[in-house]
A and B are shown apart, each in its own frame.
Chain A
Amino acid sequence: MSGDQALLDERGGGDSGQVAPVAAVRNITKRFPGVLANDKVSLDFRAGEIHVLLGENGAGKSTLIGILAGMLRPDEGEILIGGTSVKIASPRESLERGIGTVFQHVLLVPSLTVIENLMLGGPWWQALGSGAALKRFRELSALLGVEIDADALVGRLSLGEQQQVEIMRALWRGEKVLILDEPTSMLTPQGVRDLAQVMRRLRDKGVALILITHKLMEAYELGDRITVLRLGRVVGQIPPDRRRTMSEADTTDEVIRMMFGTRAEHERDAEILTGHGRRAHRHRAVDRSAPPRLSARALQTAAGRGECPLREVSFDLWPGEILGIAGVDGNGQKHLAELLAGQRPAAAGSLKLGEMDVTADRVPERRRHGIRYVTDERVGEGTVGPFSVATNLVLKEIGQAPYWRRGLSDWDFIHDHARVQIRQHDIRTPSERTAVAKLSGGNIQKVLLARELNEDAGVVIFNKPTYGLDLQNTRIAHDRILASAGRGMAVIVISTDLDELLELSDRIGVMFQGRMTGIVDNGADVERRVGILMTGAEAA
């Protein structure tokens, strides 16, 4: 960090009062039904500064970004660009004003080349790969300090490289402001380091960067200025000159105080947030002398286009054990989860539940045998959006007693059941008849947890169980996972968040290109070993 500080000092950018902001928001207020998403937010974004916006889900970060990116319009307040008030009515206008946004998920067309993707929003008469475009591409490559082949298919690039292309696209029509929305969530540790380098480089070239994150470590490592949002309001800011004098611990303390009030009451929140304290690895005694609850042997799947199939995956799982599955997204985790749940047939290999061979069983049989799957795609496949909470709670039991008798729906019983579940699992919903799509992500996850985790569950697969959840719901999900194992269930947790796996798992298996490249006991030095396995280094 010291080198960057030196750079900052040289430019004198540390003194926030002197440089006029490139972009700013003044008293921005945005209301959604029942929610005040932004409440008189005023912020400055300066050239040559990485401005970190920290906050939980629902703190208003995404709304603010949406307003700057031209996707939402504020109810009140104004946006200033270079000191003049402007209206941004569309994403295109935002880009034309030099504000580029890189969203959490890659929004490139995988079947097109890099240069084609970059030219997508351009004028229709311009020939693909024209001189002007290539010139701009080379300019931006130099600016970012990266080397990417302009004619490479985007689908062939690594996620980190795809993100670099995203950044180029965001800067394509001007490089005043670059917004990065949780950019590290999809990346390997190496990818994160590369991204940090690119960000610092852009900062030093005079771009105003806005980094959205909920990871405190990132905020500390990358941020020149840290702003904390809570419930739509700016609750505190650490300007660059103060930030430089503070140690990591001080910064963490101060930010957590802003986010939660006092520190003592929220020790665990802080731990989840910072990733500290998790270093106390979970390690419980699992009785491995007993026969395993679940045995996978050389499981393989057939892959569709753009999917990563499983290649000879084998493991054993004992009752009461939590097996974490680590790996960069898209290395076969999805197929593994779906195969175990019975949604996807095995092309080869066998799966045994205790003594029983369940390889040929599909979802209903496996569910009857106690195999449960909490999917990561809560909205995509986990629930039927327009259907009620009550219906979604019995979605996997349609036609079965006691909710259905001789094929006839007992709606009263289904609604009674739902009311009990809503109370037990603290699902925040106006009513059991409310369409599930109207619930927040955390509450939809509670619906899934309520549906999957009952007394009959013996094996539970959690796929990215806390993805997109806020702190409180993350904690609830973690508690439920630990409690499931505590009750003797055999648990698999698939996650791209290594910290989460370190906290929860007894062992951690690593997936790389469809193979389980290794399974290591959770303990000292496990991060390094997992990190090596994640890149496939030990695969051969």
Chain B
Amino acid sequence: MSVETETVSGRPGNGEAVREIGAAVLRVLIPVLLALIIGGVILLILGKDPLAYYGYVLDRGLMKAGGRQETFTRMAPLLLIAAGLIVAFRAGIWNLGGDGQFLLAAVITAALAPALIAFLPRGLTLIACMIVAIAVAAIWSLVPAILKARYGVNEIVTSLMMSFLGTSFANVLIKLFFWDPTTTVPQTRSLPVEDRLPRLFDTTVHAGILIALAVVILVHLMMTRTAFGLKLQVVGANPRAAIHAGLNVGRLTIATFALSAGLIGLGGSVEILGVWGVVRADWNPAFGLLVVPLVFLARFNGYAVIGFTLFFSALMIGGESAARRVGVPQDFVLVLVALLLIFLALVEYLDHVRRKRVAA
């Protein structure tokens, strides 16, 4: 899939802008519709009622209050991961180590929070946990970052490897150091519900969603309105131009990795502080790689990624109960996402060909 770096300062004129936005919306809507249709055909082949499935997804994921709250709750970690990925991808750095960074941060949070709450007030405990989690994830990303900056080692491979190491290491940490002695299954001590992130109003949605939304918007503004963001984009769009312009590409690479991993780590921390309060040794939601396609769908745009995350969360939450009711595997959601990606790439390609033909 080709990714055009958005021209930060190159906003076109008004009429053109409207047309551009319209075209962008169509480029997303057409694949979504096609994915739903083909997904429906697959359900028909399986002998299930696609309308019932989609109905349940919509009902459970968005319409019912409980499902809606779950959807919003799920958005928090996904958005924070997306924010981290946007920073990296815009700088042309493929940080695929999100799962390891996420899980290590989560485990550290789960280990630290019950210990700190004993002598610190709730607010300080939560903030301290988040900061430590960010730092841990950032440090974990230093290995691929330095290898890339110093020796030009491909970060896709190294960050993926570090991700496997990270998830295993998180498991080991729980079993060796953080195992709550009162439990038989290896897991950390748990943070009492009343000490977790505050709930919003009368819902089950915790404050993490606000943190996540703020971070995504801040990341978007950072990329489009600051010198640092522009430097990252120059490195991402044309690394040789970055060297030519005298940017310290090595230092920017390390900073990008640290920031990206830190935000993903914050996602892990928020998920623990808001939802679980504890990490079991076998827990790994593997959100990291799920978010990668969403970030591509949003073309690295912070605002667009909010919409896609909402869509995907609703699909995940609604899909769980719809799958149970209609009798298809839960992973059918992933089939839909995969179809969406394929059609997105296809529409993108056709659009590219059309433009080329117009240009020729």
Which A positions have Cβ atoms within 8 angstroms of B? 32-33, 72-73, 341-343, 362-364, 367, 373, 375, 377, 380-388, 390-391, 395-396, 398-399, 404, 407-409, 411, 414-415, 431, 433-435
CA distance A362 to B241 in the complex (A): 15
If A407-B227, A415-B9, A433-B11 touch, whether A386 touches B237 (CB-CB below 8 Å) is yes
Within 8 A of A (CB), among B238-252: 238, 240-241, 243-247
If A386-B237, A391-B8 touch, whether A32 touches B359 (CB-CB below 8 Å) is yes
Task: Say if the beta carbon of B230 comes within 8 Å of chain A.
Answer: yes
**Smallest CB gap from A414: residue in B:** B9
Docked-complex contact B238 and A381, CB < 8 angstroms: yes
Interface residues of B toward A: which range?
Answer: 20 to 34
Instruction: Determine which of A367, A390, A396, A433 lies in contact with B12 in the assembled complex, contact meaning CB atoms within 8 Å.
Output: A433
Docked-complex contact A395 and B10, CB < 8 angstroms: no
Docked-complex contact B7 and A387, CB < 8 angstroms: yes
Task: Say if the beta carbon of B25 comes within 8 Å of chain A.
Answer: no
Instruction: Determine which of B224, B237, B243, B246 lies in contact with A367 in the assembled complex, contact meaning CB atoms within 8 Å.
Output: B246
Task: Say if the beta carbon of B13 comes within 8 Å of chain A.
Answer: yes
Nearest chain B CB to A499's CB is how many angstroms away? 28
If A32-B359, A398-B227, A407-B227 touch, whether A386 touches B245 (CB-CB below 8 Å) is no
Instruction: Determine which of A72, A362, A383, A387 lies in contact with B360 in the assembled complex, contact meaning CB atoms within 8 Å.
Output: A72
Docked-complex contact B244 and A386, CB < 8 angstroms: no
If A396-B245, A433-B9 touch, whether A384 touches B238 (CB-CB below 8 Å) is yes
Within 8 A of A (CB), among B195-246: 224-228, 230-231, 233-234, 237-238, 240-241, 243-246
Which B positions have Cβ atoms within 8 angstroms of A? 4-13, 224-228, 230-231, 233-234, 237-238, 240-241, 243-247, 358-360
Nearest chain A CB to B237's CB is how many angstroms away? 5
Docked-complex contact A388 and B7, CB < 8 angstroms: yes
Contacts of B11 in A (CB 8 A): 433
CA distance A433 to B13 in the complex (A): 9
Contacts of A415 in B (CB 8 A): 9
Docked-complex contact A363 and B245, CB < 8 angstroms: yes
Contacts of B358 in A (CB 8 A): 33
CA distance A38 to B200 in the complex (A): 67
CA distance A11 to B243 in the complex (A): 58
CA distance A387 to B9 in the complex (A): 7
Docked-complex contact A391 and B230, CB < 8 angstroms: yes
Nearest chain A CB to B249's CB is how many angstroms away? 11
Instruction: Determine which of B9, B228, B246 lies in contact with A364 in the assembled complex, contact meaning CB atoms within 8 Å.
Output: B246
Nearest chain B CB to A28's CB is how many angstroms away? 14
CA distance A377 to B11 in the complex (A): 26
Docked-complex contact A390 and B238, CB < 8 angstroms: no
**Smallest CB gap from B228: residue in A:** A407
Contacts of A362 in B (CB 8 A): 246
Count of A-B residue pairs with CB < 8 Å: 103
Top 3 A-B residue pairs of the complex, sorted by shortest distance between their CB atoms: A363-B246, A399-B227, A388-B10
Contacts of B8 in A (CB 8 A): 387-388, 391
Contacts of B5 in A (CB 8 A): 386-387
Instruction: Determine which of A388, A398, A414 lies in contact with B231 in the assembled complex, contact meaning CB atoms within 8 Å.
Output: A398
Docked-complex contact A343 and B244, CB < 8 angstroms: yes
Contacts of A73 in B (CB 8 A): 360
Docked-complex contact A387 and B226, CB < 8 angstroms: no
CA distance A385 to B237 in the complex (A): 8
CA distance A399 to B13 in the complex (A): 26
CA distance A125 to B233 in the complex (A): 46
**Smallest CB gap from B231: residue in A:** A398
CA distance A386 to B7 in the complex (A): 6
If A381-B244, A409-B230 touch, whether A435 touches B237 (CB-CB below 8 Å) is no
If A33-B359, A362-B246, A363-B245 touch, whether A398 touches B230 (CB-CB below 8 Å) is yes
Nearest chain B CB to A433's CB is how many angstroms away? 5
Docked-complex contact A375 and B247, CB < 8 angstroms: no
If A33-B359, A396-B245 touch, whether A388 touches B9 (CB-CB below 8 Å) is yes
Nearest chain B CB to A244's CB is how many angstroms away? 40
Contacts of B238 in A (CB 8 A): 381, 383-385
**Smallest CB gap from A388: residue in B:** B10
**Smallest CB gap from B238: residue in A:** A384
If A381-B243, A409-B225 touch, whether A395 touches B234 (CB-CB below 8 Å) is yes
Docked-complex contact B241 and A382, CB < 8 angstroms: yes
**Smallest CB gap from A389: residue in B:** B10
Docked-complex contact B9 and A384, CB < 8 angstroms: no
9 CB contacts below 8 A, A to B, read A363-B246, A386-B6, A390-B10, A395-B241, A398-B230, A415-B9, A433-B7, A433-B12, A435-B10
Nearest chain A CB to B83's CB is how many angstroms away? 19
Docked-complex contact B7 and A380, CB < 8 angstroms: no
Docked-complex contact B227 and A384, CB < 8 angstroms: no
Instruction: Determine which of B4, B9, B13, B360 lies in contact with A411 in the assembled complex, contact meaning CB atoms within 8 Å.
Output: B9
